[in-house]
Amino acid sequence: MTRRTLFRILAAAVSQRLGAVAPPARKPAKRIVLITLGGIRRQESWSEQGLRYIPHLYNHLLPQSLFYPYTVNEGVTSHFNTIASVLTGVWQHVDDWGGDKPGSPTLFHQFLAQTGAGPEQTWVVTSNKQLTANISPGVNVILSKQLMVEAVERIITAQSARARLEREQILQEMTAVLETDAERIGWGVPSESVFRDPEVKQTFLAALARFIRGNEAPATGDELTFLIAREVLQRLAPAMLMINFSDMEVAHSGSYSLHLGGITRADMACYRMWEFIRSTEALRDNTTMVIMNEFGRDPDGSSTNGFFNHRTDTESCRLAWTMVLGPASGKPAVVERPMRQIDLTPSIAAWMGFDCGKTPGSRLPEFHA
């Protein structure tokens, strides 16, 4: 009997219609874009040796941000539970695979209930397939990477007439999955009308086309997530958009170099998203963007195999960071006082002008209402 034994079981053409897209029915006065990143340790990010992997966050975004370098995850250091905790303001202890709903109302739910906004105002675009429609009632959940996974698997396993993993064939297959199987692969829409809306459909088709035909030959889940999220922001301009990047989670399979590559792509995606917001007139002055990692990862030499996993009750795993950009950030500052991830919930709600209910989290005084 050993400890481990016990723990083991443990389309570009489509985008030409951009100008023809009608604006959303009601323009929100304030918008929040919340970006969550998978597990990134301090030593591969905000440390002397880690800054090389986050050049945009460090050189371009930090100087204009409200930055909390000591953000603590006091809950379950798994993806669904962490994100559900941030969205509810209550540490969640539910099924990590997204099989359960969070035990408390989410920011999306409270926003919709209190403001009378329609479901077209709340979106989640995620690389992580665990963030199913269970994350919150009333929210549109787009499992972008899962769309590509489904298309690739159909081609590989000969379930499709398309036989090779070539860009145009993948585009056709993803479009087919989108048309017929989106719900089965975990996408969630609060009402069928949202998804049948030609404008919504065009949003996805345009993003897919950019992904396949883009000059930079993107190919990863996070690159597709970025393009879909940006298209959602540009065409639908919802009041609340949550984006999740998870390429760095290849760490679970033990490639350190690919893990670092995922961190660097997330750094670039965050920077490009903020640049897009800053360069879009309708978004520039009313959109706050929050970037946070869900947790760190396990320390080198740990019995859980270091960077591979995020299970230990250690500072390496529990210490995260939060960066706030835009109107809510006020004057750029680094706040060295520790904060909890659930403190973000009442802070976002207060800035957006609704009540997130009684939660254990404390509103951050630096987060401008």
Partner 1 sequence: MPDELRIPADLIRRLPATFGPALNDQLRQSELLFPAERRQLEAQLKWLAQLPRAEFDKLFAPLVEVESRMDLHWESSAAGMSVRDVGILARSPLYPLWRTEVERVFARIDAAAEQPGDFQNLPRLLVCVLPAGLSVKDQPLWPELSAQGTWLSLDRPFGEMLPQFAAALAKRACPPGLEEDERTWVIESDTRLADLPGAAVLSWDDLATMRREFLRRLNAVHRDLRSVDQTTEELKRIDIARLVGPGIAANARLREFLRSLLLSGNGSLVFCNSFVEWGASEALRRAQPQVLIASFGIRQKLKPFSSVVLFEDQNRSNPAPDEGDPAGSLVDALELSTYVHLAVQRVVRRPERTLTLMASCDLNRVLVLGPSKPAAETNLTELALRWLA
Chain contacts with partner 1 (rule: CB under 8 A): 1-10, 76, 78, 81, 91, 93-97, 99, 129, 145, 148-149, 152-153, 155-156, 158, 163-166, 170, 186, 217, 219-221, 250, 252-258, 260-261, 300-301, 303, 305-308, 311, 313
Shortest distance (Å) from residue 174 CB to partner 1: 10
First to last CA, the chain: 55
Burial-class residue 29 by CB neighbours within 10 Å (0-12, 13-18, 19+).
exposed
Shortest distance (Å) from residue 207 CB to partner 1: 16
Angle, helix 221-235 to helix 256-279, in steps of 10 degrees: 10
Tell me the C-alpha distance between 131 and 133, whole Å: 7
Tell me the C-alpha distance between 356 and 348, whole Å: 9
For partner 1, give the closer residue by CB, 180 or 279. Answer: 180
For partner 1, give the closer residue by CB, 193 or 303. Answer: 303
Shortest distance (Å) from residue 224 CB to partner 1: 9
For partner 1, give the closer residue by CB, 183 or 355. Answer: 183
For partner 1, give the closer residue by CB, 163 or 334. Answer: 163
For partner 1, give the closer residue by CB, 93 or 368. Answer: 93
- Amino acid in position 46: W
Tokens coding 84: 């559900």
For partner 1, give the closer residue by CB, 285 or 315. Answer: 315
Block residue for tokens 């199913």: 132
Question: Residue 20 in contact with residue 228, Cβ under 8 Å?
Answer: no
Q: Counting every residue, how long is the chain?
A: 369
Instruction: List Cα–Cα distances, 25 to 196, 233, 235, 253, in angstroms.
Output: 16, 15, 12, 45
Shortest distance (Å) from residue 216 CB to partner 1: 12
Shortest distance (Å) from residue 198 CB to partner 1: 28
Shortest distance (Å) from residue 131 CB to partner 1: 13
**Alpha helices, DSSP H only, in the chain?**
3-8, 55-56, 79-88, 107-115, 144-156, 167-180, 192-196, 198-213, 221-235, 256-279, 281-284, 315-318, 344-352
For partner 1, give the closer residue by CB, 65 or 126. Answer: 126
Shortest distance (Å) from residue 155 CB to partner 1: 5
Instruction: List Cα–Cα distances, 140 to 86, 183, 313, in angstroms.
Output: 18, 11, 33
Neighbours of 158 (CB within 10 A): 9
Q: Name the 3-class secondary structure at 200.
A: helix
Shortest distance (Å) from residue 239 CB to partner 1: 30
Sequence-ordered list of residues with C-beta below 8 angstroms from that of 155, at least 6 positions apart, any chain? 162, 163, 164, 165, 169, 170, 173
Tell me the C-alpha distance between 121 and 138, whole Å: 10
For partner 1, give the closer residue by CB, 8 or 331. Answer: 8
For partner 1, give the closer residue by CB, 209 or 335. Answer: 209
Shortest distance (Å) from residue 241 CB to partner 1: 23
